[in-house]
Amino acid sequence: MIQPETQTPPRICVLGGGFGGLYTALNLTQFPWETTPKPEIVLVDQRDRFVFLPLLYELLTGELETWEIAPPFTELLADTGIQFHQQAVSRIDLEAKTVYFSQTDSLVSSLASDALTYDYLVLALGGETPMDIVPGAADHAIPFRTIADAYQVEERLRSLEQSDQEKIRVAVVGGGYSGVELACKLAERLGDRGRLRIIEMGDQILRTSTDFNRGAARKALSDRQVWLDLETRVAKIEADAITLVYRDQDDVLPVDLVLWTVGTKVADVITQLPLAKSDRGQLKVNTKLQVLEYPHIFALGDLAESFDATGQRVPTTAQSTFQQAQFAAWNIWATAGNEQGHGGTERPLLPFRYQHLGEMMALGLDNATLTGLGITLDGPLAHVARRLAYLYRMPTLDHQIKVGLNWIAKPVRDLLSVG
């Protein structure tokens, strides 16, 4: 008897395990695949953990634990059918539809070689913090984008807190959301011992935010005695000093810790691709999030210059990337189904429509702002609402339940420990 030929399942390779990559992969598992066999979904990231970036600041104040905001991919993806490979991408061959990886010592990859072919590719590698803008930044400043960054800041803070110096001087470069949230959290942690300043080139903090958020942030910074250096640029960073320029006047200030929150650059592996790019090096995509000239490649998040169906430029925020992941997953599912000829009716690809749902920002312990959908909140109530909104956005139901139960039990544990 002649056995029927086994068809190789199409492979969807997702590069990057942040909001864009992880949530696209998870959304792909929710669709009813008529293809036989079902597609193989592979998620690749050079790190072993997903990071819920909006809550990264809470690690520095001890409000949250690492496992809550940075669960391992192997734990998140258990029972989802998604394969995870911890690898660093070194090169992508567009014509051969092959991704090449650097040699690693990863224990969470079953790859037999340093390459992986794909039928559909999702580029969601996120951005990197440029540390070469100012002399000395790469050697003496710390970015704040990854768990490793948070650990490095924590180690430095502990060393300073255990020292006998009277004041701990911290400079936060950048007056955007990251800089403001970071400064407020550190001011709470260091208390009267801290001497914090935000350095911003513009004439105001949170330039793209609402007046309500900006006003609440300025009050929170003032209440915590965080100094604002507006219309000021950083000229040089040294081991124990930072040189600022204000109205063509140099000012050298002593500093113990410099945190860099300015700028985002696209990874070299993306900029090297022979694809249409914006002036910032981002890949140009159509409204379906497909890379121009390569309909089997989808790009989203920080590395893509995207305009939605209304012609609106899509901001590179966690909120927009989360929404893009839903559309990218649908369009991959529709494309794969249409090409395989299963399901009868051809499915349309959906143009991305960005919906701005508002803003949330932490301004210290038990203090936050929340704006959007006709609501404006600040203070403890906004803090609770922010936590609940982010709990709902966490990647899997299982993780949501674990974190939610821990948050409910924490006040009881704290009360018992005091008693």
For residues 413 and 329, membership in a common domain is answered with: no
Q: Which residue, of 233, 260, 287, is where some domain finishes? A: 260
Specify whether 44 is located in the same domain as 124.
yes
What domain count does the chain have?
A: 3
Q: Is residue 1 part of a domain?
A: no
Query: End-to-end CA distance of the chain, in Å?
Result: 76
Which tens digits make up the pLDDT trace of 71-117?
999 999 998 999 999 999 999 999 999 999 986 555 555 555 689 99
The residue written with tokens 């299963």 in the block is 342
- The domain boundary, picked from 244, 260, 276, lies at 260
323 and 376 within one domain: no
Do 363 and 329 lie in one domain? The reply is: no
Q: Does residue 174 share a domain with residue 69?
A: no
Q: How much of the chain exceeds pLDDT 90, in percent?
A: 82
In a shared domain, residues 255 and 272: no
Convert the pLDDT of each residue in 318-343 to its tens digit: 999 999 999 999 999 999 988 876 55
- 4 falls within a domain: no
Residue with the two structure tokens 């410099």: 258
What is the phi/psi pair of residue 21, to 5°? -70, -55
Could you tell me if 115 and 209 lie in one domain? no
Mean pLDDT of the chain, nearest integer: 91
- Same domain, yes or no, for 222 and 244? yes
On whether residue 399 sits in a domain, the answer given is yes
- Residue 351 belongs to a domain: no
Q: Is 94 part of a structural domain of the chain? A: yes
pTM equals 0.91
Is residue 348 assigned to a domain? no
Alpha carbon 166 to its chain's center: 35
Q: Are residues 15 and 117 in the same domain?
A: yes
- Whether residues 275 and 321 share a domain: the answer is yes
The CATH number for 62's domain is: 3.50.50.60
What's the Cα-to-Cα distance from 184 to each of 87, 188, 223, rounded to whole Å?
35, 6, 10
Query: 160 pLDDT band (50/70/90 cuts)?
Result: very high
Task: Classify residue 219: in a domain, yes or no.
Answer: yes
179/78 same-domain check: no
Q: Tell me: do 270 and 249 sit in the same domain.
A: no
Query: Which residue has better confidence, 6 or 372?
Result: 372
281-312 pLDDT per residue, tens: 899 999 999 999 899 999 999 999 999 899 99
- Residue 197, Ramachandran bin (φ over 0: left; ψ between -120 and 50: alpha; else beta): beta
Residue 330 forms beta bridges with which residues? none
Q: Is residue 174 part of a domain?
A: yes
Q: How far is CA 419 from CA 127, 189, 405, 408, 414, in A?
A: 46, 23, 22, 18, 9
Domain hosting 201: range is 137-260
